[in-house]
Amino acid sequence: PVDRSPEIQEARLKLPVLAEEQVIMEAVRENPGIVICGETGSGKTTQVPQFLYEAGYASDGQIIGITEPRRVAAVSMSHRVAKEMNLPPQVVSYQIRYEGNVTSDTKIKFMTDGVLLKEIQKDFLLRRYRVIIIDEAHERSVYTDILIGLLSRIVPLRNKKGMPMKLLIMSATLRVEDFTDNQRLFRTPPPVIKVDSRQFPVTIHFNKRTPMEDYTGEAFHKTCKIHRMLPPGGILVFLTGQAEVHNLCRRLRNAFPFRKNNTTDADTSEAMRKFKKAKQKKKSLPRIDLDNYSALPVDEGDEDREAGIGDEEDGGSDLDIGDDLADSEEKADPSIPLYVLPLYSLLAPEQQAKVFRPPPPGTRLCVVATNVAETSLTIPGIKYVVDCGRVKKRFYDRVTGVSSFKVTWTSQASANQRAGRAGRTEPGHCYRLYSSAVFGDFSLFSEAEITRRPVEDLVLQMKDLNIDKVVNFPFPTPPSTEALVAAEQLLVSLGALEEPPRTGSLSCPITPLGRAMASFPVTPRYAKMLALGKQQDCLPYVIAVVAAMTVREIFEDLDRPARSEEESTKLTQRRARMTQMRRLWAGQGAALQLGDLMVLLGAVGACEFAGCTPKFCEDNGLRYKAMVEIRKLRGQLTNAVNAVCPEVGVFVDPKMTPPTEHQVVCLRQIVLAGLGDHLARRVQAEDLLDPKWKNGYKTPLMDDPVFIHPNSALFKTLPEFVVYQEVMETTKMYMRGVSAVEAEWIP
Ligand code: ADP
Ligand code: MG
């Protein structure tokens, strides 16, 4: 029996999924697998594990596992469910790549999908689990897709062996045909249970015109208008990235400053008074044209009029707001404080947690978020959504593997998800910063991630599971044959798969080296480096470098535009400091040749030496959260290496001395062994077809040259041959993580 507090019990009863408990549990009893569909916020993630627990699915030593595509969700949902059930974290636990609190008493385990995939490698039948819930299946993350494919085989196998297991697939949007109408996946389609969400109507307002560039500015104006003129209720703004989020947060905080401790009830009534006044004098205030919107459902549209946000004379005039009005928006108005919070996945967890707490009295909550707020986290009390209609995604070039982040239009399904966030607690409004015509051109659904990215890591994992013919795997949506061939070729070249009898074969078996590589939780290129690392006592260095290469963005972004003179001076100072530190970390003499990877090694070493404190990171331009991740990953990789070759007995030394000259040479060769297909040669004088190619590098696969970034340790040296971690297209095609290699090493 679960002992829940009365408040929790009351909140639960409001969740739509609770009404379906009987139906869901009956379907679970009668079927090996089911699909549960329901609006975000209907209670799937927090409640379904509790249903299963109460029905005894975690009572005879086995446990309930739930996978999430995002780490944020795995951690925060385990906390939430523990709290709701009044159980300690030893019982309702989580495991993500770098950390976890799972114990032998764990009954409900939240984890990222990657973690479960690793567990399948250790125990294909997943004997510890009585039930697996694949959450957020609509996100179509690569690991989720693979897990569904694998579980479609594991579940029948378990049942045949008399160790029954249940599979629940949970999804937010309604397109589940890829799972249900897919004969290769499930011969008998699993039943779909739809959770009727008591979603309140959300009125959709389209802009008449679509700002192509400054949608952040547009979001600012819209948010200001909502805050000034519309009744209380939280605002959720969707932008595409961290920099945009911070920029908008800063502008909104300046416009409606909120100081702790100066808000009283008087402020609330002040805000109300202002709001009423705004209603009365609506003619003189900035307004949005009612005809500017197409409203859905139609009968909900009138609220705008009452709130005075309507009736702009001139269509699309949001962009044409007179300067005086724009000025007045920028002028600080502390009488109606706005409690502005950022939300994105790289944000520190304690900052992320703030969005779940009620805003200080007398303020209105405004969360400026990236896609994380679309389906994985439900923020309470949101009544207004402002949607820029875009999303930032990583794109890979199929042939070259070059990746770039691009901002593109989102899908209709995503835009509708975003709108839905406004209708959780009462009728709401969604302001789309684009026209209905533009919306009509959006694709209906977002593509499955697996079709958009290289798959060498997945292919290696599958080979390690003895799935030699990866083409025959029951993918919900299969990757292209092209991508599979490229992956297989790379793995053969790394020595992870046996040479094929003929080229282009797609069923090369795994080698012992490949098995060792598959046991490391990093991509195959880096796994190869780890596998070679024991030579010349290089392992501790290889582990540190691989950990650092795997974690995103370890340096603070100092290239962001400054909003004030003061900030500009500060940024210049910090940039100078960072340049100095990079130079220090790059070392001297032979070490310089290891280039950017030496800088990473130096940064990791120095940070660890200083105890990995927030202050050290802050002072030296390192992102604290990244450094903590690197530290955890170093520990994890060290354990993984010891498991594969116990004789090396490697350990994490917080006082690691820099590598010797000899070791640096060795490290460079190890790096080349992993990044052999990422080789580039400086454009030779005779090939200088275009002056723009000066200082460029040629790679085997690309027609145009790539470049060493000014921030790189090798920017001044320009060695003839280099290997790089990846090519990112920003203002130019830049190589990241560059290291020099000698001509005679190249096979
Ligand atoms: P779904 O999985 O269907 O999207 P959830 O189970 O995530 O729905 O959310 C159900 C409700 O629980 C939401 O109203 C959400 O706001 C609330 N909730 C989730 N996490 C927390 C938390 N950490 N603190 C307070 N409320 C939360
Ligand atoms: Mg959920």
pLDDT tens digit sequence for 226-258: 999 999 999 999 999 888 999 999 999 999 988
pLDDT tens digit sequence for 507-521: 889 999 999 898 888
Distance 135 CA to ligand 1 centre (A): 13
Q: Which residues contact 57 (CB under 8 A, 6 or more apart)?
A: 64, 130, 131, 166
Banded pLDDT at 174 (limits 50, 70, 90): low
Distance 238 CA to ligand 2 centre (A): 18
Distance 312 CA to ligand 1 centre (A): 37
pTM of the model: 0.74
pLDDT at residue 402, as a whole number: 66
For ligand 1, atom 20: residue with the closest CA: 80
Point out the ligand nearest to the CA of residue 48.
Answer: 1
The neighbour count for residue 191, using CB atoms within 10 Å, is: 15
pLDDT tens digit sequence for 55-101: 999 998 999 999 998 888 898 899 999 999 999 999 999 998 768 89
- Cα(543)–Cα(549) distance, rounded to whole angstroms? 10
What CA–CA distances, in Å, run from 76 to 71, 89, 368? 9, 12, 19
Distance 44 CA to ligand 1 centre (A): 9
Q: Who wins on pLDDT, 123 or 290?
A: 123
Banded pLDDT at 261 (limits 50, 70, 90): low
For ligand 1, atom 10: residue with the closest CA: 43
Residue 276: is it exposed, middle or buried by C-beta count within 10 angstroms (0-12/13-18/19+)? exposed
Sign of CA pseudo-dihedral 611, 614, 618, 624: positive
For ligand 1, atom 24: residue with the closest CA: 356
Banded pLDDT at 505 (limits 50, 70, 90): low
Q: Which runs of E-coded beta strand occur in 233-293?
A: 234-238
Q: Which of 10, 378, 424 to mutate to test the pocket of ligand 1 (most atoms within 8 A of CB)?
A: 378
Banded pLDDT at 377 (limits 50, 70, 90): confident
Q: Are 474 and 149 in contact (CB under 8 A)?
A: yes
Closest listed residue to residue 65, CA positions, set 112, 2, 121, 15: 112
> DSSP letter string over 403-449?
EEEEEEE--HHHHHHHHHGGGSSS-EEEEESS-HHHHHHS-SSPPPG
- Cα(214)–Cα(251) distance, rounded to whole angstroms? 14
Strands ordered across the beta sheet of 234-238 = 202-206, 428-432, 382-387, 234-238, 364-369, 338-343
- Could you give the ipTM of this predicted complex? 0.98
- Cα(42)–Cα(378) distance, rounded to whole angstroms? 9
pLDDT tens digit sequence for 540-557: 999 999 999 988 788 988
Give the pairing type, strands 679-682 and 697-698.
antiparallel
Distance 43 CA to ligand 1 centre (A): 6
Query: Does residue 277 carry a pLDDT above 60?
Result: no
Distance 374 CA to ligand 1 centre (A): 13
Q: What is the mean pLDDT of the chain?
A: 85
Q: Are 458 and 464 in contact (CB under 8 A)?
A: no
Q: Which atom of ligand 1 is nearest to the CA of 40?
A: 4
Distance 136 CA to ligand 2 centre (A): 6
What CA–CA distances, in Å, run from 35 to 166, 173, 177, 717? 11, 12, 11, 57
Point out the ligand nearest to the CA of residue 137.
Answer: 2
% of residues, the chain, pLDDT over 90: 52
Q: Are 190 and 35 in contact (CB under 8 A)?
A: yes
pLDDT at residue 198, as a whole number: 65
- Cα(402)–Cα(400) distance, rounded to whole angstroms? 5
Closest listed residue to residue 343, CA positions, set 321, 369, 325, 323: 369
Query: Does residue 311 carry a pLDDT above 60?
Result: no
Q: Which of 4, 12, 14, 46 to mutate to test the pocket of ligand 1 (most atoms within 8 A of CB)?
A: 46
pLDDT at residue 316, as a whole number: 27
Q: Which atom of ligand 1 is nearest to the CA of 80?
A: 23
Distance 538 CA to ligand 2 centre (A): 44
For ligand 1, atom 23: residue with the closest CA: 80
Residues with CB under 6 A from ligand 1: 15, 38, 40-47, 76, 80, 356, 378, 380
Q: Are 234 and 383 in contact (CB under 8 A)?
A: yes
Mean pLDDT over residues 367-384, rounded? 88
Q: Which atom of ligand 1 is nearest to the CA of 195?
A: 3
- Cα(288)–Cα(275) distance, rounded to whole angstroms? 16
Q: Are 199 and 39 in contact (CB under 8 A)?
A: yes
